[in-house]
Amino acid sequence: MLLNGKTAIVTGSNRGIGKAVIELFARQGCALYACARKPSDAFSAHLEALRAETGARIEPVYFDLADAEQVKAGIRQINAAKEPIHILVNNAGAIATAPFMMTSEVVMRSMFDVNFLAQISLAQVIARGMARQKSGSIINISSSAAIEGNEGRTAYAAAKGALLTATKVMARELGPANVRVNAVAPGLTQTDMMTGSTQAESINATIARTALRRVGDPAEIAAAILFLASDLSSYMTGQVLRVDGGM
């Protein structure tokens, strides 16, 4: 029970890596604000089943990261409980694929709005409370694309790269308040985002140059996030943890 007595906010928790994170965190004794873009019967049923299995307190919070007013409303909902937040997992994001010469300014701005600016805005609000309580762990979910510079990912990789740089700055500034900030850079992971944005030949080519010769499972990424969220990583901040099978 690595997170017993702690409360976490996890964005993008209705699918993929975020879904795996709330499952693992709940089983580790964590209370959760499970954030998603909009309600659905499937998400509600999943949360109810997870509550029944683990006994964890799990509250859904709905907002679209592309809508600043919705984000503010979601934060107000969380803050209304007036309880300490110990962990923030900035997981939600979006992806766009296009050659550099065909990537429009509109797409660039959209990728930065959702994958960088929204993450930073949420972290700014939550970090204030963490600084007051002199403890906290923020985990920003970036991507191996930000490190590798994958073809066709100019906007996405640049926004995720900005998040990596911000992680290091945040770690320096928040460290004196005992707030740790780290990032996880997943490689190919079996999610709807991967299958919907990456052609089969590109997936196969990446697998061929990956040491473990396979795609990752969301639960494997969630395990790395758990490590950074827990006291097991208490002397670790400002780091980028690559979980990519050895790309």
66 pLDDT tier (thresholds 50, 70, 90): confident
55 pLDDT tier (thresholds 50, 70, 90): very high
Q: Is the pLDDT of residue 238 over 90?
A: yes
Q: Is the pLDDT of residue 89 over 90?
A: yes
- 176-221 residue pLDDT tens: 999 999 999 999 888 776 666 677 887 888 889 999 999 999 999 9
- Name the active-site residue from 33, 62, 156, 235: 156
CATH number of 7-189+217-240, picked from 1.10.8.640, 4.10.520.10, 3.40.50.720, 3.50.30.30: 3.40.50.720
Please tell me the distance from the alpha carbon of residue 138 to that of residue 167, in angstroms, as a whole number: 9
The per-residue pLDDT for 131 is 98
The per-residue pLDDT for 197 is 63
156 is catalytic: yes
The per-residue pLDDT for 194 is 63
The per-residue pLDDT for 196 is 66
pTM: 0.94
Q: Where are the domains of the chain?
A: 7-189+217-240
The per-residue pLDDT for 225 is 98
- List, in order, residues 6 or more apart from 138 with CB less than 8 Å away: 87, 88, 90, 123, 126, 127, 130, 170, 174, 179, 180, 181, 182
**Average pLDDT across the chain, whole number:** 93
The per-residue pLDDT for 81 is 87
Mean local confidence (pLDDT), 140-156: 90
Mean local confidence (pLDDT), 42-60: 97
118 pLDDT tier (thresholds 50, 70, 90): very high
Nearest partner of 188 among 179, 198, 174, judged by Cα: 198
Please give the span between the terminal C-alpha atoms of the chain, in angstroms, as a whole number: 31
User: What is the chain's length?
Assistant: 247
Query: How many Cα atoms are found within 13 Å in the side-chain-facing hemisphere of 107?
Result: 17
Mean local confidence (pLDDT), 162-187: 98
The per-residue pLDDT for 203 is 82
